[in-house]
Each structure stands twice: as structure tokens, then as C-alpha cells.
Structure 1
Amino acid sequence: MKTDPTDNRSAAPIERIQDNMIARLERRALNRLCAGMPAWTTPDMLTLVGMIGAFLVFGGYVASNLHPGWLLLSIAGYVVHWFGDSLDGSLARFRKIERPRYGYFLDHSCDGFATVLLVVGIGISPYVQLEVALVALVGYLLMSIHAFLSVRVLGELRLSYLNAGPTELRLILIGLTLAMLIAGQENPIVFQLNGFDLFVGSVGIILISLFVVQTAKTAKRLAKEDPPIRNQD
């Protein structure tokens, strides 16, 4: 039976590459949580929990314009988001009920929307300028595009870069939020940018630079693996 190379259902399994700092520790924790999860819990329910967490983060940042104590809601939201976002695919693999195309589409669609909520929420808070937060959002989405393109051309889904993945990023954002809560609104340091602006902007610049470097590396690799086909006369 012949297979259509454009049909994703006949494609080889995607290789997941994850070498972030706490990957092994997190994997053990996720396996234990999966083993103790009630039978009625489904991956889709956990995806919904993750999105609820993202909305809690967004709401906490927006409400921090009224009182800084609302930042605690954002911190709690990060925990809820990690729980749902990390466990949905893990539970499917643990129970061997994967739905590769559906799960890939739904998970990454929700990830993109959740990231917009998190970063725009930071920009709406009184601690970071929205324009600066959008630089970080552009950097993250560019890296997401690179990851999705790599799945198509390399069959690899890289979940971490520079020994950091989504969980490390959440921990960084929790630390940033705690700093906002403790330090309060800071005065400008350079070009009307305060310390939080400089930090978030630097993260965005690093992500954009990483996208450029990884794109060049992948293009160089593909140029060797996929040479031009010369017509034989």
C-alpha cells in the first residue's frame, strides 16, 4: 500500500527533545501525578485547567493596577497553568491514549493563546511597559514558529533551548512577579525604562537573537541534507 508523503497520518513519530535543567526531576513528578490521577480525568480537562491558570495570571496582573496584592493571584495562576499544561500530554502518554494530530494542534494552539495572555498581562500591569512586553512576546512566538517548522522539516520538536524550557520560564516569571510585589513600581533608569522593563526587554532580545541563530543553524543543516536536484538530460 502506497502512502501519501503529504499525509501527516503516515508521517514518522515526532522526536521530542527536552534537555532543560530540571527535566528529569519534573518528569518524575509528572509520572507520580499521572499515576495518582482519577480515572475520570482526561487530557482535555487538564488542557482546560491550564487555560484557566493562564486567565488567572492575566487577571492578577490587570488587577494589580488596583492593588499589588493581586499579584499573588498571578503567581497561583502560574502554578495552575503548569499543572494543566504539563500534565495533559503526560497523562495521554502515561495511559497510552495519545491522539497525535489532535493533541499537537490543540496543545500548541492553547500554548500560543496562553502565552499572549501571560505576556500582555505583564504589559498591562503598572510594572512593565506594554511595548517592552510585546518585544518579549515577539521573541517567544518566533521561537515557537521555529519549533513548529523544525517538526515539519526535521521531525524534531525541541522543547528547550539554552538548558531552559517552559517550566524554567514559568519559574523566572514567578520570580519576576515576586520582585514586583516586593519592590513595587520602580523609577526609570534608562530612556524611561525601569529595572523590570530592562529585564523583560532583555529576555525578548535574547529570544529574538536565539531565533536568528537557530534559523541559521537549521538552514545550514538542511542545505547539506537536502542538496539541489540536478536534472539529467
Structure 2
Amino acid sequence: MTVNDQVAPAPIERIQQNVLARGERRLLTWICARLPAWVTPDLMTGVGMIGAAMIFAGYLLSNMGEQWLWLAIGGYAVQWFGDSTDGSLARFRKIERPRYGYFLDHSCDGLATTLVLTGIGLSPYVQLEVALVALTGYLLLSIHAFLRVRVLSEMKLSYLNAGPTELRFLLIGFTLAMLVLGSRGEGWFGKVSGFDIFTGFCGMVMIALFAHQTAVTVRRLAIEEPSRNAEWRVRD
């Protein structure tokens, strides 16, 4: 079989059921139609990583003063703009590079998430160990999404009607609570702050979602690919 005779991979179905999906899609289409030609998808990916670095720096520098949290909040806006526009721009201009874009985008997503949650853990508001629980949950869900692409040709982009954009709004609200409550958010439950409890709860929810979605996918695959031992028993 030559290269030209090989069967093309099945197209990936994007499953996006988050609350803001339709409005965000219209906004991104409007933005992409107005971006100058010199703005490329790779450039927007770089903008997204700059936003992630701003978020990390804002949380880290909040040890010197809570006003630095505004840098993190601004970073979320920059990160959304870059991360949401890179793939949208490629699809709008019909210049997609499926393997290259998939690999680069999700590699940067993993690094950006690590920067955000590590930054939260290095701030004076959340213990690093608790932030790492949330990071573990997010990365487990990411692994599940990547595995679904391989076995089902589906990219699941949202859980519980929430996707990356809703999560950014949640984190912005969380950061504003840090600004408003300050030290009053600490010591509510002894050495564990209310911020710790919220972060840890979110992490445990994501881990539970990973376990549930894994079980659902395994059941679906078991039906689509029945055991060969079962086939032999039927023949006997």
C-alpha cells in the first residue's frame, strides 16, 4: 500500500456544550474577520502564552502587594484573546494544519494551565499543595479529552456546561475575591483558608469528572468492541 492509498484519518468532532459557546463563536468570527493579514495563528498562540506568564507573575508578585492581582486579571483577558483566536483564525482563513496545530495548541494549553495554577499556589492566598490538586484534576480531564480523540475521534471541550472561557470567568471572580477579602479569606477554618477549600473542591470535582467520564467511555467502547472471548462462547 502506497502513502496515497492509505485511509485518511477520521475527522475530529468538536463537542462544545458550554454556556457561552455560541456567543463566543460569533465574537471570535467577528474578531478574525478584522485581524490584519500579518497576524498569524502562531502569533496568537504566543499572545496566549504571554497572558499565562502575566497571570503567573501577578499571583507571584501578590506576595509583595495585593494590587499585583490586577496583573493576573489582565493576564486572563490576554490569555483568552490569544488562546481562543489562534485556532479560530486558522479555521476562518482555511489554513489549518491539523497535526501541527493540535500538537502546538494543546502543548501550550498544558504549560499555560501549569503556570496559572502554580502561580495561584505561590500566592499568599492558596497553599501550593491545594493548587496542585486542582492542577492534577485539570490535567486528568485534558488527558481524557486527548484519549477520546484517539479512540472516538471526538474532542470534548466542555464539562458540566462549562469550558475554558467559563473557567476563566470563575478564576477572575476568584481573584477579585482575593482583592476584596484579602486576609479575611484566610483562617476561616484554622490553617485552611476559604480560598484553599474552594480550590481543593474544584480540584476534587475535576478528578471525579475524570473518573466518571472514563467509566462512561469504557462502557461505550466495550459495546462497540465486544470481547472476542464472548464471540467464541457464542460459536460454541
Q: 1:200 — aligned with what? A: 199
Alignment partner, residue 97 of structure 1: 95
Q: Deviations over 1:121-169 (max 9, x none)?
A: 0000000000100000000000000000000000000000100000000
Question: How do 1:8-157 and structure 2 match up within 5 A?
Answer: 10-157=8-155
In the TM superposition, residue 189 of structure 1 has moved relative to its aligned partner by 2.8
Secondary structure of the 1:214 match is helix
Runs (5+) with no aligned partner, structure 1: none
Q: Is the 8 A contact 2:186 2:195 kept in 1?
A: no
Q: Who is 1:215 aligned against?
A: 214
Moved more, 220-229 or 67-76: 220-229
**What is the count of residue pairs matched by the alignment?**
231
Instruction: Provide closer, same or farther for how the CA distance between residues 215 and 41 of structure 1 changes in structure 2, counting only shifts above 3 A.
Output: same
- Measure how far apart 1:227 and its partner are: 1.0
| CA–CA separation in structure 2 for the residues paired with 1:54 and 1:210 | 25
Gaps of 5+ in 2: none
CA distance in 1, matches of 2:58, 2:3: 50
Tell me the amino acid that sits aligned with residue 48 of structure 2.
G
**TM-score w.r.t. length of structure 1:** 0.95
Are the counterparts in 2 of residues 3 and 10 from structure 1 also a CA contact under 8 Å? no
Q: Percent identity?
A: 63
Rounded to whole Å, the distance in 1 between the matches of 2:186 and 2:109 is 33
Distance, in Å, in 1 between the alignment partners of 2:216 and 2:190 is 34
The aligned counterpart of 1:171 is 169
State the distance in 2 between where 1:105 and 1:121 align.
Answer: 24
Partner SS, residue 184 of structure 1: helix
Instruction: Provide TM-score, normalisation by structure 2.
Output: 0.94
Q: What secondary structure is seen at the aligned counterpart in 1 of 2:174?
A: helix
Measure the CA separation in 2 of the matches of 1:153 and 1:4: 23
Shift of 1:190: 2.9
CA-atom RMSD in angstroms = 1.9
Structure with greater helix share of residues: 2
